[in-house]
Amino acid sequence: MTNVVLLGPPGAGKGTIAARVAAELDLLHLSTGDVLRDEVARGTELGQLAQGFMERGELVPDHVMLAMVRERVNGREGVLLDGFPRTLAQAEGLARFLPVHAVVYLAVRKDEVVRRLGSRRVCPSCGAVYNLVTQPPEVPGRCDRCGGGLIQRADDAPDVVARRYEVYERDSRPLVEHYARQGKLITVDGARPPDVVASDVIEALRP
């Protein structure tokens, strides 16, 4: 079974693409951002620890993330990791319990991700994601799927987006080079409609 890592800046579309690719290739989709948001919503010990880092656009400490991912992977193969690893230390830790076969890098420029994140809205009830410009809900402010009220993620506020991008450049960008050196990197242009990006990724990964 193939284990895949999805890399890219915040706002590159990792969550959307990962969901489609995982369904098509029958992989287990593990989004560390989604897991953390769920822990925060449930007020767990991990959630309380992570909340402050997330609100500031900082990374949750490596040892916490490694323990969390290791527990969720739990010896399985055929995993699609979305949002992990985000630092070299996480990549090194991951290699000790899960072999990474392919790494997809969703390349999107900074001005585009800033624009996307500013217009992103989410449904806290069912997790659906919208974009006021490219994928608006049918009724303004209401979720098409469940009717819930849409909100802006706290970390999509402009000052936090700027911080997340800085952290990405400093801590996560080096992973692109790291995996390229290992011959695992597949670069895909993420600045296109989700359908097109997803089918390119699926094509590149299909055995």
Residues making contact with ligand ADP (CB under 6 A): 10-11, 14, 32-33, 36, 53-54, 57-60, 65, 83-84, 86, 90, 155, 164
Q: Which stretch binds Zn ion (CB under 5 A): 22-30, 54-62, 102-110, 118-126?
A: 118-126
Q: Which does 32 bind (CB under 5 to 8 A by kind): Zn ion, ligand ADP, none?
A: ligand ADP
Which is the catalytic residue, given 14, 37, 116, 121? 14
- Give yes or no: 110 in active site: no
Q: Which does 146 bind (CB under 5 to 8 A by kind): ligand ADP, Zn ion, none?
A: Zn ion
Question: Does 148 sit near Zn ion (CB under 5 A)?
Answer: yes
Question: Does 143 sit near Zn ion (CB under 5 A)?
Answer: yes
Nearer to Zn ion, 130 or 165 (CB): 130
Chain position carrying tokens 């693409």: 17
- Give yes or no: 192 in active site: no
CB 41 within 8 A of CB 47: yes
**What distance, in Å, lies between the first and last C-alpha atoms of the chain?**
10
In whole angstroms, how close is the CB of 207 to ligand ADP at the nearest point? Answer: 27
Give burial (CB, 10 Å; 0-12/13-18/19+) of 114: middle
- Give yes or no: 153 in active site: yes
- Give yes or no: 120 in active site: yes
**Residues in Cβ contact with 198 at an 8 Å cutoff, skipping those fewer than 6 apart:** 16, 17, 20, 21, 24
As a whole number of angstroms, the distance between CA 39 and CA 50 comes to 8
> Closest Cα to residue 61, out of 45, 70, 49?
49
Q: Give the residues lining the site for Zn ion (CB under 5 A).
A: 123, 125-126, 128, 143, 145-146, 148
